[in-house]
Structure 1
Amino acid sequence: MAVLLAAVLLAGCARSVAGTAETEQWSPTRAAGLEITSGQSGPRPGVPDTGLTAVNGDGGEIDRLALNAVEDVQRYWAQELPATFGVPFAPVRRLFSYDSTGPGPVVCGTDTTGLVNAFYCPAEDTVAWDRGELLPTLADTFGTMSVVAVLAHEFGHAVQFRLGVGGSTSSIVREQQADCYTGAFFRWLAEGNGPHYRLATGPGLNQVLGTLFFIRDSTEVGFDTDGAHGNAFDRVSAFQFGFGDGSGRCARIDETEVRGRITQQSAAAVVPGDDGNLPVDDPDALAALLSTLRAAFGPNTAPIVGTTVADCPEGGRTAPVSYCPATGTLGLDLAGLAAIGTARSDGGDGIGDFAAFAEIASRYALAVQQAAGLPLRGVAAAGRTACLTGFWAGTITAGRGAPLALSPGDLDEAVAEMLAPESLIAADVDGRSIPSGFARVQAFREGFAAADPAACADLFR
Structure 2
Amino acid sequence: MRQVLRRAVPAAVVLTLLTGCSAEMVTGQASPGPGEPVDVAPESFPITGVSDSDIDRLARNALADLDTFWSEAYPEFYGEEYTPLENGFFSVDSEAIDTGAYPETGIGCEGSPTSPDSVAGNAFYDPSCDLIAYDRALLDELSTQYGRFLVPVVMAHEFGHAMQGRFGFAESGRGIQDETQADCLAGAWTAWVAAGEAEHVSLREPELDDVIRGFLLLRDDVGSDPDDTQAHGSYFDRVSAFYEGFDGGVAPCRDDFGEDRLFTAAAFTSDEEYQSGGNAEFDLIVQWIAATLPEFWSEVFPAAYGEEFTPPAIDSFQGTPPDCEGLEDRDLGYCAAEETVYLDDTDLATPAYSDIGDFALATAIALPYSLAVRDQAGLSIDDGAATMSAVCLTGWYEAQWYNGAFADSIDAVISPGDIDEAVQFLLEYGVRDEVFPNVDASGFELVGAFRTGFLEGGAACELER
**TM-score normalised by L of structure 2:** 0.83
**Structure 1 residue 183 and structure 2 residue 183: aligned?**
no
1:100 is displaced (CA, Å) by 2.1
| Aligned-pair CA distance for 1:172 | 0.8
Compute the RMSD of aligned alpha carbons: 3.2
For the residue of structure 2 that corresponds to 1:182, the secondary structure is: helix
1:277 paired residue number: 279
Q: Secondary structure at the match of 2:462?
A: helix
Is 1:409 the counterpart of 2:417? The answer is yes
The ranges of structure 1 where at least 4 consecutive aligned residues each deviate by more than 6 angstroms after the TM superposition are 6-12, 267-270
Matched with 1:194 is 198
Rounded Cα–Cα distance in structure 1 between residues aligned with 2:422 and 2:398: 10
- In structure 2, how many angstroms separate the alpha carbons of the residues matched to 1:168 and 1:314? 55
- Matched residue, 2:304: none
Query: Which residue of structure 2 lines up, in the alignment, with residue 449 of structure 1?
Result: 455
Q: Distance in 1 between matches of 2:119 and 2:7?
A: 50
Distance 2:399 2:373 in 1: 17
Specify the code of the residue in structure 1 equivalent to 2:63.
Answer: V
Paired residue secondary structure (1:79): helix
**Contact 2:223–2:265 (Cα < 8 Å) also in 1:** no
- The CA deviation at 1:269 is 7.5
Q: How does 1:331-346 map to 2 (within 5 A)?
A: 331-336=342-347, 337-343=349-355
Correspondence 1:252 to 2:255: yes
Alignment of 1:35-114 (within 5 A): 35=29, 44=36, 47-49=39-41, 51-92=44-85, 93-102=87-96, 107-108=107-108, 110-111=114-115, 112=117
Deviation at 1:10?
9.4
SS at match of 1:229: coil
One-letter code aligned to 2:325: E
1:209–1:127 CA distance, 2 compared to 1 (3 A): same
3-state secondary structure, aligned to 1:375: coil
Q: Provide the C-alpha distance between the structure 2 equivalents of 1:127 and 1:327, rounded to a whole number of angstroms.
A: 59
| Counterpart selection for 1:438 from 431, 440, 444 | 444
Which residue of structure 2 aligns with residue 265 of structure 1?
A: 266
Amino acid in the other structure paired with 1:127: I
Separation of aligned partners in 2, 1:119 and 1:456: 38
State the Cα distance separating 1:140 from its structure 2 match. 0.7
Conserved? CA contact 1:318–1:431, under 8 Å = no
Instruction: Find the counterpart in structure 1 of residue 390 from structure 2.
Output: 385
Deviation at 1:333, TM superposition (A): 2.6
**Equivalent residue letter for 2:89:** L
Does structure 2 conserve the Cα–Cα contact (< 8 Å) formed by 1:276 and 1:407? yes
CA separation in 2, counterparts of 1:381 and 1:141? 32
Q: CA deviation at 1:457?
A: 3.0
2:370 alignment counterpart: 365
CA drift at 1:413: 1.8
SS in 1 for 2:69: helix
Alignment partner of 1:295 is 2:287: no
Secondary structure of the corresponding residue to residue 197 of structure 1: coil
1:149 aligns with 2:161: no
| Bigger mean CA offset, 183-192 vs 94-103 | 94-103
CA distance in 2, matches of 1:432, 1:12: 37
When residues 334 and 126 of structure 1 are mapped into structure 2, their CA distance, relative to the original with a 3 A threshold, is: same
* CA offsets 1:345-368 (integer angstroms, 9 cap, x no match): xxxxxx222112211111111111
Listed one character per residue, the Cα deviations across residues 393-438 of structure 1 (whole Å, up to 9, x for unaligned) are 11112644433432222222222222237437xx898634452222
Distance 1:320 1:251 in 2: 42
Pair 1:47–1:123, CA change in 2 (3 A): closer
Cα 1:10/1:235, change in 2 over 3 Å: closer
> Residues 392 and 340 of structure 1: is their aligned pair in 2 closer, same or farther, counting only changes over 3 Å?
same
Superposition map of 1:321-340 within 5 A? 321-336=332-347, 337-340=349-352
User: Does residue 231 in structure 1 map to residue 234 in structure 2?
Assistant: yes
Number of aligned residue pairs: give it. 432
Q: Are 2:22 and 2:459, in contact at CA under 8 Å, matched by a contact in 1?
A: no
Change (3 A) 1:168 1:263: closer
Question: Residue type matched to 2:215 in 1?
Answer: L
Separation of aligned partners in 2, 1:166 and 1:11: 29
CA contact (8 A) 2:170 2:258 kept: no
Aligned match for 2:165, one of 161, 172, 186: 161
After superposition, the Cα gap between the structure-2 partners of 1:268 and 1:123, relative to the gap in structure 1 and judged at 3 Å, is farther
Q: Deviations over 1:241-260 (max 9, x none)?
A: 111111121111334332xx
Question: Residues of 2 paired with 1:222 and 1:434: CA distance?
Answer: 38
Q: Give the match for residue 102 of structure 2.
A: none
Give the secondary-structure state (helix, strand or coil) at the position aligned to 1:14: coil
> Any conservation in 1 of the 2:426–2:443 contact (CA below 8 Å)?
yes
For the pair 1:138 / 2:146, whether they are aligned, the reply is no
Instruction: Please list every run of 5 or more consecutive structure 1 residues that lacks an aligned counterpart in the other structure.
Output: 17-22, 344-350
Deviations 1:184-231 (A, max 9, x none): 11111111111111123x312223222222211111322211111111
SS of aligned partner of 1:71: helix
Amino acid of the structure 1 residue aligned with 2:338? T
The answer to whether the 8 Å contact 1:8/1:295 transfers is no
Question: For residues 22-47 of structure 1, what are the alpha-carbon distances to aligned partners after superposition, in whole Å with 9 as ceiling and x for unaligned?
Answer: x97456xxx42745x5x789x95554
Q: Return 89-98 or 71-80, whichever deviates more.
A: 89-98
- Provide the TM-score with structure 1 as the length reference: 0.84
Amino acid corresponding to residue 442 of structure 1 in structure 2: G
